[in-house]
Chains A and B, each alone.
Chain A
């Protein structure tokens, strides 16, 4: 049994979700290789080599992999993955994009977003927006799995000395190309890796009022999120969405402001360690999952909270 973990990165830095995925791999077995596919990604390969408990770090350094186009990466991973019993990647927007292609090319099913490992072929994964947890057993010869980062701790990042091995495969399908990207510029931590998250919902009333959250976020070093209702109402962009159809977060502290607590939002944050809810409606379902609830008008409570932090 041997496991291949596809490293999540941006050609410069190895992303945190990789560390949770390695932890999941270690719960499955002990023979683990990493694959770094990208372009000019030597620094990522070096970081991958220092993770303890890794056999080899396979490096596919080609221009076709620079923008992680699913067509090219999927083909590469299916070729490299043929010799492994398990192929794992983080359930990020990138992992969700290419992994099903890998599974289809290998003619195996994929197990999406596992939150725990019960044995080498049996896993737990949430279904119905986290309202049920399914225990599933895969009978495929190669198990293709995406890993929900919040289900596993980070692995160690220092002390390893894996050997690098070049993979000289250029899987350029030539059917897709990268045009451009608009990434949100922010000094705040990333939503999925932040220790503290403060989110606003429909109760914020408009996009401008999200500035009330910014002062608090700055004081706490928190990331800012939003409910689907706030995104649907056009207050904020979708990359801020926390929920079943957005990002899944599990910070130490989650502060939900003006969020009623729809099932689909709870699915994205209910594994947070401590949950605070601020809402003027005392009947709001969010209070049922909150450790600390404050029934108050957010337009009064937020400035006061900011001044007292």
Chain B
């Protein structure tokens, strides 16, 4: 089995992003970049499939500027076999990303595609579902467990009320939720080895995909601030304030 893992380069999750003062976008000057945490879980799951000999090859793919090579190298250090960068300077929306990934899938013919459920920058939560739809594949979104048997995959999904399990025909698309696994750290020898693994570059033109944006961002502003509250001295005072001042309990 061949597994394709699309990953996204995003601002590191520890960075508190603020809107620029002229409201033209988020202020991303000199911030630390990383693999999107959900994509890291996707890489880990694919590598575990390889370690259990369910999968034979894991291919990491990313779409974006040349700088994404850094995140692809991280994926290679975590255990992916080779990497593909679809290089573009354009800001690509989830639909465009899904179209580009569809072209990569048609080229590589993977049996399984594992993606993060959402990227922590634009919080769209769309790409995996769109890719599955464009390919007419089944999808197991927000996965907390996967089990491959023959030409089917059972995916346990995190849904609002608890867990749901679906059975999907392969090839299929899976998107990861938090509890699917705990990603490993790349070891130094593996980081060194990753430098020698193959990393191919393609362009949207070569894949014959129009990924131009449909949504225009008019402005990016800070969220409304909450007014500072008060520190109460005791449980009694807290209960009194909730009853008589805030009037939220009786």
CB <8 Å contact, A176 and B168: yes
Residues of A with C-beta under 8 A to B26: 127-128, 131-132
Do the beta carbons of A132 and B138 come within 8 Å of each other? no
Interface centre among A228, A270, A276 (most CB of B within 10 A): A276
Chain A nearest Cβ from B149, distance in angstroms: 12
CA distance A76 to B134 in the complex (A): 15
Which A residues are in CB contact (< 8 Å) with B138?
71, 173, 175-176
- Chain B 201-233 residues near chain A, CB threshold 8 A: 213-223, 226, 228-232
- Residues of B close to A239: CB separation below 8 A: 158-163
Q: Which residues of A contact B62 (CB under 8 A)?
A: none
Q: Which residue of A lies closest to B235 (CB)?
A: A304
In angstroms, how far is the closest chain B Cβ from the Cβ of A67?
8
Contact of B162 among A92, A179, A182 (CB under 8 A): A182
CA distance A237 to B177 in the complex (A): 12
* B127: A residues at CB distance < 8 A: 100
Which chain A positions have C-beta within 8 A of B179? 231, 238
Residues from chain A with Cβ under 8 Å of B229 in the complex: 275, 287, 289-293
- CB contact under 8 A between A177 and B120, given known A292-B238, A305-B238: no
Residues on the A chain within 8 Å of B161, using CB: 181, 183-184, 190, 239
Interface string of B8-24 (1 = CB under 8 A from A): 00010100111100000
Q: Which of B126, B154, B163 meets A103, CB within 8 Å?
A: B126
Contact A301 B235 (CB under 8 A): yes
Which of A101, A264, A304 makes the CB contact (< 8 A) with B129? Answer: A101
Q: What's the minimum C-beta distance from A77 to chain B, rounded to whole angstroms?
A: 11
Cβ contact of A100, chosen from B17, B130, B242, cutoff 8 A: B130
Which size class do A's interface residues fall under?
35 or more
Is A129 touching B123 in the complex (CB atoms < 8 A)?
Answer: yes
Q: Which residues of A contact B54 (CB under 8 A)?
A: none
In the complex, chain B residues 111-125 whose Cβ is within 8 Å of any chain A Cβ: 118, 120-125
In contact, B242 and A108 (Cβ under 8 angstroms) = no
Given contacts A253-B242, A294-B231, contact A181 B162 (CB under 8 A): yes
| CB atoms of B246 and A274 under 8 A apart | yes
Q: Is the CB of B125 within 8 A of A137?
A: no
> Shortest CB–CB separation between residue B143 and chain A, in angstroms?
11
Give which listed residue, A177, A238, A292, contacts B167 with CB less than 8 A: A177
Q: Are A70 and B218 in contact (CB under 8 A)?
A: no
Q: Is there a chain A Cβ closer than 8 Å to B241's Cβ? A: yes
Q: How far is the CB of B113 from chain A (nearest CB, A)?
A: 14
Kindly list chain B residues whose C-beta atoms are within 8 Å of the C-beta of A132. 17-19, 26, 220-223
Cβ contact within 8 Å between B124 and A110? yes
Residues B242 and A276 in contact, CB atoms below 8 Å apart:
yes
Contact of B235 among A131, A175, A247, A308 (CB under 8 A): A308
Tell which of A177, A270, A292 touches B230, judged by Cβ atoms closer than 8 Å. A292
A293:B158 contact, CB within 8 angstroms: no
Interface flags, B87-127, vs A, CB<8A=1, else 0: 00000011100100000000000000000001011111111
Within the complex, the shortest CB–CB distance from A179 to chain B, in Å, comes to: 4
Given A196-B249, A244-B123, A136 contacting B216 (CB threshold 8 A): yes
Q: Which chain A residues border B168 with CB–CB below 8 Å? A: 175-176
Instruction: Looking at the assembled complex, report how far the CB atom of B132 sits from the nearest CB atom of chain A, in whole angstroms.
Output: 7
B200 nearest CB across to chain A (Å): 26
- Interfacial residues, chain A to chain B (CB-CB below 8 A): 69-71, 74, 92-94, 96-101, 103-105, 107-113, 122, 126-140, 173, 175-184, 190, 192, 196, 220, 228, 231-232, 237-239, 241, 244-245, 247, 252-253, 263-264, 270, 273-276, 282, 287-296, 301, 304-305, 308-309
Q: A134-B217, A135-B218, A231-B179 are in contact. List 19 more A-B contacts (CB 8 A).
A: A97-B129, A97-B142, A100-B126, A101-B129, A104-B130, A109-B93, A109-B94, A126-B223, A127-B123, A131-B17, A137-B216, A175-B168, A178-B167, A179-B167, A181-B162, A238-B158, A238-B177, A292-B230, A293-B231
Q: Which 3 A-B pairs have the closest CB atoms?
A: A100-B129, A101-B133, A104-B133
User: Can you sample 29 A-B contacts with CB below 8 Å?
Assistant: A71-B139, A100-B94, A100-B126, A100-B127, A100-B128, A104-B95, A104-B98, A104-B131, A107-B95, A109-B214, A110-B124, A110-B130, A122-B218, A128-B120, A133-B19, A138-B214, A175-B168, A176-B139, A178-B167, A181-B163, A237-B162, A238-B177, A244-B123, A253-B248, A274-B246, A292-B229, A293-B230, A295-B231, A301-B235
